[in-house]
Amino acid sequence: MKNYKIAIIPGDGIGPEVVREGLKVLDAVSKKYDFTTNQTFFDYGGERYLKTKQVLSDEELNGLKAFDAIYLGAVGHPDVKPGILERGILLKLRFELEQYINLRPVKLYNNVPTPIKNKGPEHIDYVVVRENSGDVYTGEGEIKNQGTTDEVATQVMVYTHKQVERCLKFAFEYVMKLHAQKPWKGLSAEDIKAGYVGKLTLCGKNNVLTNVFGLWDRVLADLSKQYPKVKTDYFHVDAMCIFLIEAPERFDVITTTNMFGDIITDLAAVTQGGMGVAPSGNINPNGVSMFEPVHGSAPQFTGKGVINPLAAILTVKLMLEHLKQDKAAADIDAAVQKVMLTMKSMLVGQMGYSTSQIGDMVVEALR
C-alpha cells in the first residue's frame, strides 16, 4: 500500500481549525482509496516565535525535505511585526524548497454566489500559474539615508532567464495536461482547426516594465515554438483586472510574475466565491511541494468555528492530485460540490453550519 509522508504546519489563527477539517477529509479518502499517510506536525508560526524568537531554522527547513508534501494552514500573527513570519517562514519555505510555481485554480462551483452579475460556473474556470521565486519578493534592494528627507527605498523586480523559462515551461505543460482529453471550450472553430488544445495568457506590464517583460515576452515566444498546440496571448495586468471581472471566460491558463500573481489571485478568489473556497499549491516539480489555502490566519475569527474550511479541503485535493491520487482528488471535489449545495453561503459565519460540521459533511459525502 502506498504511504505518503506529510508534514503538517497548522500555523496561526484559524490555520489549525481549517487544517483539522482538511485532515479529516484526507484520512477518510485515504481509507477509501487504499493509501496511508504518515503525518508529522510542526508548530512553526507566530505563537512559537513569540515564545522562543525562533522563526524557521535551516535544520528545520532541511528536515522538511524528507517529506512527500507539506500541508500548511496559515502563517501570520497580530502581535508580530509584519514581514517577520512572512519572510522568515512562508517565503523561506517557498524559496529554499524551490517551490517556484504557485498554482491557483479559480473555479466557480454550482450554488456558490459570485459578485459578478451574469456570470456563472460556465464562465469562471481557469488556472493562474503564479511565478513564486522571483520579483520584488527576493528582498533585493536597500534603504539609504533612513530617517532623513533624502531617504531612498528600493525593492527590485528581478527575474533571471532560468526563472522565467522554468515557469513558462510549467505553464505550457500544464495547458497540455489539462486538455489532453478534450480541447478547452473557449477555443473557436478556427482555433480547433489550427490544432490548438488550450490557451496560455501571459499577464504583464511590458509597456512600462520593459526590461522584465521584454525577457518574459522573448522566452514566451521561444518556448511557444515547442508547444504549437497551445495558443498564447498577452494582457497588461491593469487590463487583466478588467477582464477577470467582465469576461473571465476568456481565460484558460494565466501565467504571471510573483507580485502581479499575488494581486490578481485575490481578485480572482473573490469572483470564485471568496477566500473560503480558494486553494493553492506551491510546487517544486522536482522536490517537496507545499499546499495552503489562499486565505491568511484571520486572527479575529480564531476558535469561533465560523471559518469556511472548504479552501483547506480543496487544498487537500490539490495535494492529492500532485501525489497522483487523481481518483481520490476527484472524489473530494465531488463531495465538496455536494456540500456546497446545502450551504447558505461561503462567507465567514454565514454558512449555516460550523467549521467542523462542514468537514463532517464532506466526509459523509465521500461515502
Q: What residues are labeled active site?
A: 137, 205, 238, 262, 266
Partner touching 86 among ligand IPM, Mn ion, none, CB below 5 to 8 Å by kind: ligand IPM
Instruction: Return the ∠ at Cα 110 (arms to 309 and 127), rounded to 5°.
Output: 75
Partner touching 90 among ligand IPM, Mn ion, none, CB below 5 to 8 Å by kind: ligand IPM
Q: Identify which of residues 277 and 343 has a Cβ nearer to Mn ion in the complex.
A: 277
Q: Binders of ligand IPM among 77-116, rule CB under 6 A?
A: 86, 90-91
Say if CB 25 and CB 363 are below 8 A apart: yes
Q: Measured from the CB of residue 86, what is the shortest distance to ligand IPM in angstroms? A: 4
CA distances from 136 to 5, 28, 257, 357 (A): 33, 41, 10, 40
Question: Residue 71 and residue 91: Cα distance in Å, rounded?
Answer: 15
Question: Residue 52 and residue 65: Cα distance in Å, rounded?
Answer: 23
Q: Measured from the CB of residue 133, what is the shortest distance to ligand IPM in angstroms? A: 11
Q: Which residues pair with 289 in a beta bridge?
A: 69
Instruction: Return the ∠ at Cα 92 (arms to 86 and 94), rounded to 5°.
Output: 100
Q: Binders of ligand IPM among 305-344, rule CB under 6 A?
A: none
Q: Identify which of residues 72 and 220 has a Cβ nearer to ligand IPM in the complex.
A: 72
Residues in contact with ligand IPM, total (CB under 6 A)? Answer: 4
User: Could you give the 3-state DSSP secondary structure of residue 285?
Assistant: coil
End-to-end CA distance of the chain: 21
User: Could you give the 3-state DSSP secondary structure of residue 131?
Assistant: strand
Residues in contact with Mn ion, total (CB under 5 A)? Answer: 1
Q: Identify which of residues 125 and 135 has a Cβ nearer to ligand IPM in the complex.
A: 135
Question: Residue 309 and residue 22: Cα distance in Å, rounded?
Answer: 7
Q: Measured from the CB of residue 304, what is the shortest distance to ligand IPM in angstroms? A: 22
Q: Binders of Mn ion among 245-284, rule CB under 5 A?
A: 262
Q: Does 262 bind ligand IPM (CB under 6 A)?
A: yes
Q: Identify which of residues 136 and 178 has a Cβ nearer to Mn ion in the complex.
A: 136
Q: Measured from the CB of residue 265, what is the shortest distance to Mn ion in angstroms? A: 7
44: cell is 512553526
214: cell is 521584454
Q: Measured from the CB of residue 310, what is the shortest distance to ligand IPM in angstroms? A: 18
* Residues within the interface to Mn ion (CB under 5 A): 262
* Residues within the interface to ligand IPM (CB under 6 A): 86, 90-91, 262
